[in-house]
Chain A
Amino acid sequence: MCSEVLTSSADGTKVLLLGNEAIARGAIEAGVKVATAYPGTPSTEIVESLSRVGKQLDMHVEWSVNEHVALEVAMGAAQCGVRALFATKHNGLSAAYDMFTHLGIRDVTGGFVIVTADDPNMYSSQTEHDTRWMARCAGIPVIEPSDPQEAKDFTKYAVEISEKVKLPIMIRSVTRLSHMFSGVTLSRIRSGNLPAHFDFASLSLSRLMESGELPSPFWNSVVYRKLHAKEKQVESCFERFQGNSILSTGKEKFGIVASGFAYNYVAEALRKLALREKIAVFKVATPYPLPRRKLASFLRSLEELLVVEELEPFIELEVKALAKDVNPNLKIYTKEAGCIPREGELSVEIVANALARIRGLKLPYENLPQPSIFRRMLVMCAGCPHRAVGYALNQAIAKAAGNREGAIVEGDIGCYILLAMPPFLLNDMSFCMGAGLSVAQGRYHSGINKIHVALVGDSTFLHAGIPGLINAVYNSAPIKLIILDNLATAMTGFQPHAGTGKTATGDPARVVNIEEIVRACGVNFVRVVDPYEYRKTLSTLVEMLKQEQVAVVISRRKCAILATRNARSEKKRAERYHLDEKDCVGCQICTKKFGCPAIGWNEEDKKPQINQSACTECGVCSQICPLGAIKK
Chain B
Amino acid sequence: MMAMSSSPVSIVIAGVGGQGTVLMANVIAKAAINAGYDVKGMNTYGAAQRGGPVSSQIRIGNNVLSPRIGLREADVIVALEPAEALRASNTLRIGGRVLVNTEKVYPVEVLSGRAEYPSLAVVLNPLKKISGTFVKFNATKIAESAGSPITLNMVMLGSLAAFDVLQFSNDYLTSILEEELPKSVIDVNLKAFRLGYNFVSKKKVKCH
Contact = CB atoms under 8 A, between A and B. Distances in A.
Interface of A: 1-2, 14-16, 41, 123-124, 147, 176, 179-183, 264-265, 267-268, 271-272, 347-349, 352, 365-368, 370-371, 373-379, 381, 415, 418, 422-423, 491-493, 588, 591-592, 595, 597, 599-601, 613
Given A182-B40, A183-B38, A371 B89 contact: yes
A381 B42 CA distance: 25
A595 B113 CA distance: 11
Interface stretch (B49-57, B152-160, B162-170, B188-196): B49-57
Interface of B: 16, 25-26, 29-30, 33, 38-53, 64-68, 70-72, 83, 86-87, 89-90, 106-118, 123, 126, 149, 180
A interface, over-half SS = loop
B28 to A, nearest CB: 10
Given A366-B71, A595-B112, A599-B111, A15 B87 contact: no
A373 B51 contact: no
A349 B71 contact: yes
A182 B44 CA distance: 15
B65 A16 contact: no
Given A181-B41, A268-B68, A588 B86 contact: no
B71 A179 contact: no
Given A16-B29, A181-B26, A371-B90, A378 B47 contact: yes
A217 to B, nearest CB: 44
B109 A374 contact: yes
A615 to B, nearest CB: 14
A535 to B, nearest CB: 24
Contacts of A16: 26, 29-30, 33, 39
B87 A371 contact: yes
Contacts of A176: 42, 67-68
Given A16-B33, A375-B115, A379-B51, 9 more contacts: A180-B67, A264-B65, A264-B67, A349-B71, A352-B70, A366-B71, A373-B87, A374-B109, A422-B112
A179 B48 CA distance: 12
A265 B68 contact: yes
B17 to A, nearest CB: 8
Contacts of A588: 112-113
Contacts of A265: 66, 68
> Which of A176, A352, A373 has most B Cβ within 10 Å?
A373
Contact of B49 (A264, A370, A378): A378
B9 to A, nearest CB: 15
Contacts of B33: 14-16, 183
B109 A371 contact: no
Given A182-B39, A422-B114, A592-B113, A597 B72 contact: no
B65 A376 contact: no
Nearest to B64: A182
Nearest to A121: B46
Contacts of B45: 179
A300 B147 CA distance: 66
Contacts of A492: 47-48
B51 A180 contact: no
Nearest to A594: B112
A373 B30 contact: no
Contacts of B149: 613
B140 to A, nearest CB: 12
A373 B70 CA distance: 20
A379 B83 CA distance: 17
A610 B153 CA distance: 25
Contact of A375 (B90, B109, B123): B109
B108 A124 contact: no
A446 to B, nearest CB: 32
A585 to B, nearest CB: 16
A172 B196 CA distance: 42
B112 to A, nearest CB: 5
B111 A374 contact: no
Contacts of B123: 373
Contact of B108 (A180, A365, A373, A377): A377
A423 B16 CA distance: 21
Given A16-B29, A367-B71, A601 B111 contact: yes
